[in-house]
Amino acid sequence: EVQLVESGGGLVQPGGSLRLSCAASGFTFSDQWMIWVRQVPGKGLEWVASVNPDGSGKYYVDSVKGRFTISRDNGKNSLYLQMDSLRAEDTAVYYCAGAKGWGQGTLVTVSS
């Protein structure tokens, strides 16, 4: 069974940092592109970042470029999102996802 389990969300002040993690199981993680998607409660889905299977290719939505960094550790079957210089508009539920499915999401709240 495919499982994607996010962790690391929480409340952070504007300008702060947070690191999200996603633990994958039930599929060959190292074969898959992985992405982070966010959703403001009650709104639609927004792609945030993607990483290719070996981690050498990384892509970001313009609004997070220079602030967020996606990475992966194929030895640990894990995906990460380092979020720096956080803004109120980054408040959302963050999901890790791939062609095998979605995680349950972790809430990030940026507020003073």
Partner 1 sequence: EIVLTQSPGTLSLSPGERATLSCRASQSVSSSKLFWHQQKPGQAPRLLIYAASSRATGIPDRFSGSGSGTDFTLTISRLEPEDFAMYYCHQYGSFPLTFGQGTKVEIK
**Residues near partner 1 (CB under 8 A):** 2, 33, 35, 37, 44-47, 50, 59, 61-62, 95, 97, 99-105
Q: Which is nearer to partner 1, 15 or 57 (CB)?
A: 57
**Integer CA distances (angstroms), 82 to 7, 28, 68, 69, in order:** 12, 23, 5, 5
DSSP lists the bridge partners of residue 89 as none
Length of the chain: 112
Q: Which is nearer to partner 1, 80 or 106 (CB)?
A: 106
Q: In angstroms, what is the minimal distance from the CB of 108 to partner 1?
A: 15
d(CA 58, CA 35): 10
